[in-house]
A and B are shown apart, each in its own frame.
Chain A
Amino acid sequence: MFYRESGVFKTTYATDMALYPLPITKWAVAAMAVLFIVIAPLTLGEYLISILNLILIASVGALGLNILVGYTGQVSIGHAAFMSVGAYTAANLIMRVGAPFWVAVPAGGLMAALIGAIVGIPSLRIKGLYLAIATLAAQLIIEWTINHVSWISGGVQASIEVPRPSVFGIVLKSQTQLYFFLMFFLVLAIVAMQNIVRGRIGRAFVAVRDHDTAAEIIGINIFRYKLLAFAISSFYAGVTGVLYTYYLGIANYEQFQINVSIDYLAMIIIGGLGSVLGSILGATFVTLLPIVTRWVLEGMGGLLFSTSELLNIIPNLRLVIFGGLIVLFLVVEPEGLNRLWGNIRNYFRMWPFSY
């Protein structure tokens, strides 16, 4: 991620494909780990950690959606529904049989993967917008089912309260404690995703995305890989749902409605389709932008407007700024924040002796 080199010295394929092309990459990753696992929780207050927590949860979901949309090229606007499948599976397991988190998290993911694979079946026949509508249908069907089957939803309110997760007898209550809990799963998610997309499966996904007929001709089993993409993506979504449930202490279907699916699509489009770093940058951007614009407007708006006007202006202007920035980003850099970061890095690679 953060590194410079003075030239290209690779002589074998192995070095070209290495996870850490230069020693400094390894150091950069280690430094990031220290920054986020040691320094951030020690120096930031509960409030800032709570924002980081929202970013961590969103990142897991964005990674999952990127596998499907970015790597395999299948559009899905039902991501939030798969989250709700994970959330309710975990909530039911926790409340009915008292499952600990290390059972609830994978179980929620697996159930979501199963449902996701079923929803993915139409993708074998239909593509693009048609597939988007099919996943939209899944979103609505899953929402309706959770809303109306009280065996799943736990009653009229369709919400199930769950206790906080506990690790070795310690109940994780504070934002900082939850931060470590969520960070653990995000690191797992990143490592797993890197391994998927760099390996055989990931290459097959990319082949399917770029031209599925050509992919089939060179021997890739389209049926298998499309469903696998749906399953893996939904697994991530399910885990996101479980993490969200643990974080809020409640599973509630209103937290997984269609606008959430759209938010996640926005994250990966802004971050960069088909990249791990882009998913995280996008999740960070979409989560932080409303908060930061509010900070700025609250800080500067007082110079121009009275308080009562400001309270009306801030939320409305924030929506305008949010929309405007998204358009601006897409025009300036259609490949997202990931490419923007790449451009900055490339510029400084030879700096100050660029040619």
Chain B
Amino acid sequence: MRRISAAGSVLAAGAAIGLWFAGTAGAQQKEVLIGDQCDRTGATQIVGVHLCPAIQDYISLINSKGGIEGYKIIAREIDHEYKVPPAMESYELFKRDGAVSIMVYGTPQIQALTQKLTEDKIPGTSPGFGTAAAANGTRYPYIFPIAATYWSQGAAAIQFIKKQLGGNLAGKKIAYVFYDNPAGREPLPILEDLQKIEKFELRTFAVPPPGVEMGAQVLDIAQRYRPDFVISHLFGRSPSVAIKELKRAGYPLSKVIGLVWASAEADIEAAGGWAVAEGYHTLQFAGVGDDYPVRKEIVAMYKAQGKEPPKEMASTVYYNRGLLIAAIHIEAIRNAIKAKGGAKPTGEDVRKGFESIKDFTLGGLVPPLQVTPTNHEGGGWVQIFQVKGGKFVKETEWFRGYPEVLAKAVAAAE
């Protein structure tokens, strides 16, 4: 037994090394590599299982149409299980193989990679997570949030609440329920700034990880504090628990808004179905639903191959976010290739490509982004969708909350 296992492990190691060399030898011309970090098996798999396939589907769609400017796009996906060391390892692999941009996944991962990305001059994206201050392109030249940061999300939520409560927030009570980790606390400074401007009352309710037990906080909100509106900034399993508990405590869900990671079909279903969550508002940084041309093209692509479209498409919130991430990378690379007159771009070129993204909406799925060398967030646009009659119904068009307050905060962040 011992001898067999020793021999087996030697064989396996040999096979692995041989294959790996074989795999790296065949690099071809006219290809552009994007490093794609994802998490289908770790702490945030609830997001990853829908978002990661969407990225690959969009890249296949682009390649099926002949790539961009004659280049085939390869998005090499590596699953890092939401851990930092595998994220480092896969980043070094992408760098060795000449990746021109990295789709980073996860707040600890983008923080760990920030210094490396800047030193190696490879742009990395952190849509909807990571440090809000990274919107400051002067301070973080190679980090691109490209979607509403937690600060923008908080500001947009307040703007929406103001509209819902009749245009005046003075004296109104707002409860902020948050997952007690850095990402959960991040919107707080902005909410406090806005509290001073709009003169509302703000009370915070921390939910300790893993966030599946919040009976006390919900009772406190529904029975004692009785706020005019609730902002829910939760992750993973906890958004569904919040919906369920608030419903049980008798608090109207039409007075609750969930930030971007508390806003997916999966959360509604886990809370007990669409009927339970009726009225719940959700904040989105990518379009929701099936009504976008790019989704129809993907279905057509699968049909043309004689296959059924993937079941992940049913989760439109996360799937569409995956499309947004992939599409923005593709757009940046397209800009970079055009700017170089068809030559193969480098990471630096793609950074400039990101910084010249403008008027790119993908049929309404992507907000009217305006990424500039100083603003890497692209404006912080969001849409609000409400749970109504078994689906998400659009309540607002793309809008931004308090852009001038945010601009000041981003500039002030070191």
279-327 of chain A: CB within 8 A of chain B: 287, 290-292, 294-296, 298-300, 307-308, 311-312, 314-316, 318-319
B181 touches A255 (CB 8 A): no
B53 touches A308 (CB 8 A): yes
Q: Within 8 Å of chain B (Cβ to Cβ): is A50? A: yes
Size bracket of the A interface: 35 or more
B95 touches A156 (CB 8 A): no
Nearest Cβ in chain A — how far from B4, in angstroms?
A: 10
Q: Within 8 Å of chain A (Cβ to Cβ): is B391? A: no
Q: Which B residues touch A254, using CB under 8 A?
A: 84, 107-108, 181-182
A156 touches B19 (CB 8 A): no
Per-position 1/0 for B26-58, Cβ under 8 A of A: 000000000000001100000001001100110
Per-position 1/0 for B252-270, Cβ under 8 A of A: 0000000000000000000
A315 touches B79 (CB 8 A): yes
Q: Which residue of B lies closest to A344 (CB)?
A: B6
B115 touches A249 (CB 8 A): yes
Q: Which residue of B lies closest to A311 (CB)?
A: B77
Q: Which residue of A lies closest to B186 (CB)?
A: A156
A51 touches B89 (CB 8 A): yes
For A307, give its contact among B52, B56, B119 (CB under 8 Å): B56
Q: Within 8 Å of chain A (Cβ to Cβ): is B61? A: no
A311 touches B53 (CB 8 A): yes
Q: Which B residues touch A290, using CB under 8 A?
A: 81, 86
99-152 of chain B: CB within 8 A of chain A: 107-108, 111-112, 114-116, 119, 131
Flag the segment in B10-18, B345-353, B399-407 that touches A.
B10-18
For the complex, would chain A's binding face be called helix, strand, loop or mixed by DSSP majority?
A: helix
In the bound assembly, the distance between CA atoms of A343 and B114 in angstroms comes to 45
For B92, give its contact among A46, A164, A249 (CB under 8 Å): A46
A54 touches B182 (CB 8 A): no
Given contacts A147-B180, A159-B182, whether A248 and B84 have CB atoms under 8 Å apart is yes
How many B residues have CB within 8 A of the partner chain?
52
A292 touches B41 (CB 8 A): no
A50 touches B89 (CB 8 A): yes
Q: Which A residues touch B86, using CB under 8 A?
A: 290-291
Nearest Cβ in chain A — how far from B33, in angstroms?
A: 14
For A47, give its contact among B78, B92, B119 (CB under 8 Å): B92
A312 touches B181 (CB 8 A): no
Q: Which A residues touch B22, using CB under 8 A?
A: 299
B79 touches A249 (CB 8 A): no
B188 touches A156 (CB 8 A): yes
Q: Within 8 Å of chain A (Cβ to Cβ): is B23? A: yes
B185 touches A156 (CB 8 A): yes
In the bound assembly, the distance between CA atoms of A254 and B108 in angstroms comes to 6
In the bound assembly, the distance between CA atoms of A253 and B182 in angstroms comes to 9
Q: Within 8 Å of chain B (Cβ to Cβ): is A354? A: no
Q: Which residue of A lies closest to B78 (CB)?
A: A294
Q: Which A residues touch B114, using CB under 8 A?
A: 161, 249-250
Q: Which A residues touch B77, using CB under 8 A?
A: 311
Q: Which residue of B lies closest to A49 (CB)?
A: B92
Q: Which residue of B lies closest to A291 (CB)?
A: B89
In the bound assembly, the distance between CA atoms of A250 and B1 in angstroms comes to 45
Q: Which A residues touch B186, using CB under 8 A?
A: 156-157
A252 touches B108 (CB 8 A): yes
B5 touches A147 (CB 8 A): no
Q: Which B residues touch A316, using CB under 8 A?
A: 40-41
Nearest Cβ in chain A — how far from B21, in angstroms?
A: 10
Q: Within 8 Å of chain B (Cβ to Cβ): is A340? A: yes
Identify 14 new A-B residue pairs, CB closer than 8 A, beyond the known A164-B115, A254-B108, A328-B5.
A46-B96, A58-B85, A147-B182, A156-B186, A250-B111, A252-B112, A254-B181, A290-B86, A292-B13, A299-B19, A299-B22, A299-B23, A311-B79, A312-B53
10 A/B residue pairs, CB under 8 Å, sorted by A: A46-B95, A147-B180, A161-B114, A175-B92, A252-B111, A254-B181, A295-B16, A296-B19, A311-B53, A343-B2
| Pairs A-B, 3 closest by C-beta atoms | A299-B19, A249-B115, A315-B79
